[in-house]
Amino acid sequence: MGMTPLDGLVMGTRSGDLDPAIVGVISTKEGLSLAETEALLNTQSGLMGISGLSNDMRVLLEESTLHEDHRVRAAIDVFCYRARKYIGASLAGMSGADALVFTGGIGENPPPIRERICNGLEWAGLRLDQGRNKALVGVEGGITADGSTLPAYVIPTDEELLIARDTVEVVIGQVKPR
């Protein structure tokens, strides 16, 4: 994310990166105020807006196996493309990396999404091991083939627990001793 959650990767209901001029185009075309346009980009865009079905990647993957829905396919394609684009940009900006880590709900669960993101990163030394990738759902481990120079891992996280711990630290840190 950048200054706001709209910058960066496409999310469940947030647009992710977009051409700045699109704000005016949407506002004019839809007859929306600036506040309404920002609300649309924050709450009705991303996977939800593209698919027209859901902001949940699990639902989109299930739907994509049951039906040939071009909007669902587009939502998955955009997400994977953008993730791969950010990985490539980060690798270029940092002159490489020690590893690629998949975490959070989408990163630690659906192997097909990790596969689609990793396909095309062979130039960076990442070669996915299909069996390892498919075996890791919600558990920690490596998903790259032996000999990959850029290893990739799945590392589950408990975001709510981390937020709770950080909150306790902030509250305790602000309490003045008596």
What is the CATH number for 68? 3.30.420.40
Domain that holds residue 43: 1-94
> How far are the Cα atoms of 8, 12, 21, 48, 156 from residue 85, in angstroms, in the given order?
10, 18, 21, 21, 22
φ, ψ of residue 148 in degrees (nearest 5): -65, 135
Which residue reads 């940009």 in tokens? Answer: 89
Task: Note whether 62 and 132 are same-domain residues.
Answer: no
Task: Note whether 87 and 104 are same-domain residues.
Answer: no
| Cα pseudo-dihedral 117, 121, 126, 129, rounded to 10 | 50
Low-confidence ranges of the chain (pLDDT < 70): 1, 174-178
User: Structural domain tally of the chain?
Assistant: 2
Query: Last residue of some domain: 65, 94, 123?
Result: 94
Q: What CA–CA distance (Å, rounded) separates 165 from 14?
A: 26
Task: Note whether 53 and 116 are same-domain residues.
Answer: no
Residue type, 95: S
Q: What pLDDT is stored for residue 5 in this prediction?
A: 79
Task: Note whether 176 and 138 are same-domain residues.
Answer: yes
Q: What pLDDT is stored for residue 103 in this prediction?
A: 93
Task: Note whether 44 and 113 are same-domain residues.
Answer: no
Q: Which of 135, 113, 120, 50 is closest to 87 using CA atoms?
A: 120
Quote the pTM value. Answer: 0.85
Q: What pLDDT is stored for residue 1 in this prediction?
A: 63
